[in-house]
Homo-oligomer: A and B are copies of this chain.
């Protein structure tokens, strides 16, 4: 993609207030957006997250009540709930190292020093490191990745921070697997009468946002 095309897509993106509920994202496009989640970068590559694609209308209606009734929750083609791994622990590191060895076709013992680095980092949890904040932050990388990937593909989105994460956890029964809701995002196609589509984007002048030294 050319730099000019990228900027055009990012300029075009905005937080959709009203989706056209009759339009669905084609399967191949949605698959690519799921891949943007799977392939999103995370610190150490640990992937301390899970993404729930909530398509069942009855479930969406329940989530709507936990989202200050923002209509995007039910109107958008797709809804993704971004959950973070709660209390990431030694077992998670072991699982990751084991899986890395499998993917790379090497003995786990060859990853011993990498594992030690990870465990030494993790041993700071509760001291210098807030492991749940850390996991929450990683999820926001995935959120940025998803919104940008969608913009590049010409798919409309709206990040949804205005949700009740505790109620989401309950409705989606996330706690039993050790995850907690961080944020959500909706994706689809704007309604022709979403007035925000034509509203100029508000961005501080580049000199105020970007420092140079």
Contact = CB atoms under 8 A, between A and B. Distances in A.
Contacts of A146: 144
Nearest to A140: B140
Interface in A15-36: 15, 28-29, 31-32, 34-36
A45 interface: yes
A51 B140 contact: no
Contacts of A55: 212-213
Stoichiometry (number of copies): 2
B152 A37 contact: no
Contacts of A56: 213
B6 A153 contact: yes
Point out which of A28, A153, A203, A208 has the most chain B C-beta atoms below 10 A from its C-beta: A203
Given A50-B210, A144-B141, A41 B11 contact: no
A154 B136 CA distance: 28
A148 interface: yes
Given A136-B137, A140-B137, A213-B55, A10 B34 contact: no
Given A6-B152, A53-B211, A133-B136, 13 more contacts: A7-B35, A7-B36, A10-B39, A10-B149, A47-B204, A49-B209, A52-B213, A54-B213, A103-B202, A140-B143, A141-B144, A141-B159, A145-B147
16 contacts: A1-B1, A4-B32, A10-B145, A37-B210, A38-B209, A43-B161, A47-B203, A47-B204, A51-B210, A52-B213, A53-B210, A100-B202, A104-B199, A104-B202, A144-B148, A148-B148
